[in-house]
Amino acid sequence: MVYPGKVILRVDLSSDKVEEEELTDSIVEKFVGGKGLAAYLMYREIKPGIDPFSPENKLFIFAGPLAFIYPTFVRTVVASKSPLTGLFCDSYAGGSFAVELRRTGYIGVVIEGKSDKLKCLKISKEEKRLFECEQLRGKTTYEIGELFRDYSVLTIGPAGENKVRFASIYIDWRRNPITRPGVAGRGGLGAILGSKNLKAIVLKGWLRVDELTKGIDKSVQRNLIDRYLKIIEEDVMPGIGIGGNLPVFKVSAEAKILPTKNFQLGSHELWRELADDAWAKVLVNRITCPTCPARCGTTIKEGIFMTERIEYETVAMNGPNILILDRRALMLINNTLNALGMDTITTGNILAFITELCERGLLKDYKISWGEVDSYIRLIYDIAYRRGLGDLLAEGLARVAKILNAEEYALHVKGLEIPAYDPRGVVGMALAYATADRGGDHLRAWTVGVEVTTKLTLEDLVNLTKYLQDRNAALWTLIACDNIPSNAIRPPDEMIRIYIKMLNTLGFNYDEESFLKLGERIYNLTRMFNVREGVRRKDDSLPPRLHKQREDTGWVITREDFEKMLDLYYSKRGWSSDGVPLKETLERLGLQDL
């Protein structure tokens, strides 16, 4: 293999050791990079049943094999046992960290143990060391980004330090950024860093691209790059709108799957105030990640309000879902969450949940009404600093709902709050949420694009969900950016074929069939991790609200239809009727000896 990506950096916070380790060729060939290697190491090294906040838990940070060598492969995966769900969790962020990590010669960093004092990790050509940084305690993600402006910075905000179970990890977050910042938003992995007393990783690579591409045929490489950039120009740029996924807002509103008032409704009469066209009127700048021409990052300003990045999920979950239809209010919420370091999807769910309980008179000692921006901002601060009711809400929706005996109003799957698509209008998303390996999630299999244009049978939806889960697991092993294939105006088949050829220039030997099998292998491995933690069929379920008719349309997901889909899905996956991968499935995928 000519692939120079087999070395990881192990960082033990308990002993202050920073050591290099080389992975074997056989492991790299089987799991490649990104999600694959993170999942493999998690399964091998994280003991079943441990508390996610235990020093024994580990955090895995990986770039993909194509980062820096080919354009757009700039995303970083962060993976660990989630403090929100207690299950496998991987989350992805753009920015410059993956490129700079590959320029160090490392493919990943593994964080172990726990420090007695707040630390930062610095990686540069001159040094690889931990240093105390108690003076940075309480600093926002913006402040840390500004302090280390000459580096790529992976950091947490106050919410992560305070172990809010849905705290996020931020990359290159600073005012007026030159390159697009990134957020590994889901699953509370920022709280893992907080539990280990690691505030930030500051990183600057030193290798040139030619040093990472020795042995690669340069003419083949150039041809693949040219073909790929042409596809982006012709197929991706026309569909990208002003931001990575903001055009989806219009799709969701018109399909009546836009979460409104805690998923009680599927659209709002003023939805156009928050659609892509409305944000375009206040767009002042477009920014992009290194090596990527797509420029899906946005700087938006309206009056005194400015935000560096805004996405569909943030707008939907903290807009109509809590009856806020004002752009400036949304920008304020977005900036506050990003500074403090909390997942916008989870927060929007929790704000809606608490508001509905207040409206129904089920929360005696607290009062908040739909659309009260100032009250929501105060509550967000209370969550980040674990004050009053915020201390309870910092535990995440599933725990809160159980304590308050209000689970019928809580929208989550396996403890992860569901994102901004009501599956009663796109039924494939019900199966996607229920079987996603990190809990309620839309990115494992986003069936919306097909469902809003094509009528599918239950079996069609099962086939589509499994295919997308396997395909995306392989793509996130590369790590390909979601915004590239998802915004393509034509099916991304040719794009994926080019990805495979790019991978093979590094000495791999994949074709379309084996690439999809790679994704299937990884998806079954993450299922094995979750099965080991006790997940079974009973956990592949939907929130109670989704089995009730929606008051505006009457749509419902019947339990009978859902169970039929689950039976079909397990059969096609090669899992038992209880959702456990069968022995022959593990043997076929080469997982039997892990």
Q: Across residues 483-510, what is the average pLDDT?
A: 93
Q: Are residues 358 and 398 in the same domain?
A: yes
| Token digits of residue 572 | 């096609």
Q: pLDDT tens digit string along 190-242?
A: 999 999 999 999 999 999 999 999 889 999 999 999 999 999 999 888 877 77
Q: Across residues 124-141, what is the average pLDDT?
A: 98
The shares of helix, strand and coil residues in the chain, as percent rounded to the nearest 5, are 45, 15, 45
Half-sphere exposure of 421 toward its Cβ, with a 13 Å CA cutoff? 27
Q: Across residues 69-97, what is the average pLDDT?
A: 97
What's the pLDDT at 389? Answer: 97
Q: Is residue 498 part of a domain?
A: no
Q: Are residues 430 and 574 in the same domain?
A: yes
What is the DSSP annotation of 42-109? HHHHSPTT--TTSTT--EEEE--TTTTTSTT---EEEEEE-TTTSSEEEEEE-SSHHHHHHTTT-SEE
Q: What is the mean pLDDT of the chain?
A: 95
What's the pLDDT at 485? Answer: 86
| Token digits of residue 427 | 């039924």
Q: Are residues 593 and 533 in the same domain?
A: yes
Q: Across residues 465-491, what is the average pLDDT?
A: 93
What's the pLDDT at 237? Answer: 84
Does residue 46 register a pLDDT over 90? yes
Q: Which of 378, 401, 422 is the last residue of a domain?
A: 422
**Amino acid at site 443:** L
pTM of the model: 0.97
pLDDT: is 488 or 89 the higher one?
Answer: 89
Dihedral, 562, 566, 569, 574 alpha carbons, nearest 10: -170
pLDDT: is 475 or 296 the higher one?
Answer: 475
What's the pLDDT at 284? Answer: 85
Cα–Cα distance, 198 to 58 (Å, whole number)? 12
CATH of the domain at 436: 1.10.599.10
Q: Which of 166, 191, 212 is the last residue of a domain?
A: 212
CATH of the domain at 349: 1.10.569.10
Does residue 298 register a pLDDT over 90? no
Q: How far is CA 313 from CA 105, 246, 495, 512, in A?
A: 34, 8, 25, 31
Q: Is 47 left (phi over 0), alpha (psi -120 to 50) or beta?
A: beta
Q: Are residues 415 and 440 in the same domain?
A: no
- Confidence band for 488, pLDDT divided at 50, 70 and 90: confident
What is the DSSP annotation of 18-41? EEEEEPPHHHHHHH-SHHHHHHHH
**Amino acid at site 344:** T
Assign 3-class secondary structure to 265-315.
ECCCCCHHHHCHHHHHCCEEEEECCCCCCCCCEEEEEECCEEECCCCHHHH
Q: Is residue 492 part of a domain?
A: no
Residues 6 or more apart whose CB falls under 8 angstroms from that of 586 comprise 524, 528, 592
Q: Are residues 28 and 66 in the same domain?
A: yes
Query: 204, exposed or middle or buried, with CB in 10 Å at 0-12, 13-18, 19+?
Result: middle
Cα–Cα distance, 152 to 144 (Å, whole number)? 11
CATH of the domain at 110: 3.60.9.10
What's the pLDDT at 283? Answer: 87
Q: Is residue 102 part of a domain?
A: yes
Cα–Cα distance, 431 to 83 (Å, whole number)? 24
Q: Across residues 357-380, what is the average pLDDT?
A: 96
Q: Across residues 246-265, what is the average pLDDT?
A: 96
- Confidence band for 477, pLDDT divided at 50, 70 and 90: very high
Structural domain count of the chain:
3
Q: Is residue 505 part of a domain?
A: no
Q: Is residue 202 part of a domain?
A: yes
- State the chain's maximal CA–CA distance in angstroms: 69
Q: Across residues 580-594, what is the average pLDDT?
A: 97
What's the pLDDT at 66? Answer: 96
What's the pLDDT at 462? Answer: 98
At residue 56, what are phi and psi to the nearest 5 degrees?
Answer: -75, -20
Cα–Cα distance, 248 to 253 (Å, whole number)? 9
Q: Do 404 and 358 touch, CB atoms closer than 8 A?
A: no
Does residue 270 register a pLDDT over 90? yes
| Token digits of residue 433 | 């949420």
Q: Which of 101, 119, 107, 104 is nearest to 16 (CA)?
A: 119
What's the domain range around 85? 7-212
What's the pLDDT at 2? Answer: 75
Q: Is residue 233 part of a domain?
A: no
- Looking at residue 437, what DSSP letter applies? B
Q: Which of 114, 101, 225 is nearest to 499 (CA)?
A: 225
Q: Do 512 and 498 touch, CB atoms closer than 8 A?
A: no
Q: Are residues 294 and 355 in the same domain?
A: yes
Q: Which residues pair with residue 18 across a beta bridge?
A: 11
Q: Is residue 491 part of a domain?
A: no
Q: Are residues 400 and 475 in the same domain?
A: no
Q: Are residues 271 and 389 in the same domain?
A: yes
Cα–Cα distance, 120 to 118 (Å, whole number)? 7
Q: Are residues 252 and 396 in the same domain?
A: yes
Q: Are residues 389 and 445 in the same domain?
A: no
Rounded to a whole number of angstroms, the distance between the first and last alpha carbons of the chain is 23
| Token digits of residue 161 | 């330090």
Q: pLDDT tens digit string along 86-120?
A: 999 999 999 999 999 999 999 999 999 999 999 99
Q: Which of 510, 502, 512 is nearest to 227 (CA)?
A: 502
| Token digits of residue 184 | 């590994």
Q: Are residues 301 and 379 in the same domain?
A: yes
Q: Are residues 37 and 124 in the same domain?
A: yes
- Confidence band for 243, pLDDT divided at 50, 70 and 90: low
What's the pLDDT at 295? Answer: 81
Q: Which of 405, 422, 439 is the last residue of a domain?
A: 422
Q: How far is CA 539 from CA 83, 283, 440, 465, 520, in A?
A: 17, 43, 11, 18, 21
What's the pLDDT at 322? Answer: 98
Does residue 169 register a pLDDT over 80? yes
Dihedral, 123, 124, 129, 132 alpha carbons, nearest 10: -80
Cα–Cα distance, 65 to 1 (Å, whole number)? 12
At residue 82, what are phi and psi to the nearest 5 degrees?
Answer: -70, 135
- Confidence band for 523, pLDDT divided at 50, 70 and 90: very high
Q: Is residue 46 part of a domain?
A: yes
What's the pLDDT at 244? Answer: 66
Q: Across residues 393-409, what is the average pLDDT?
A: 98
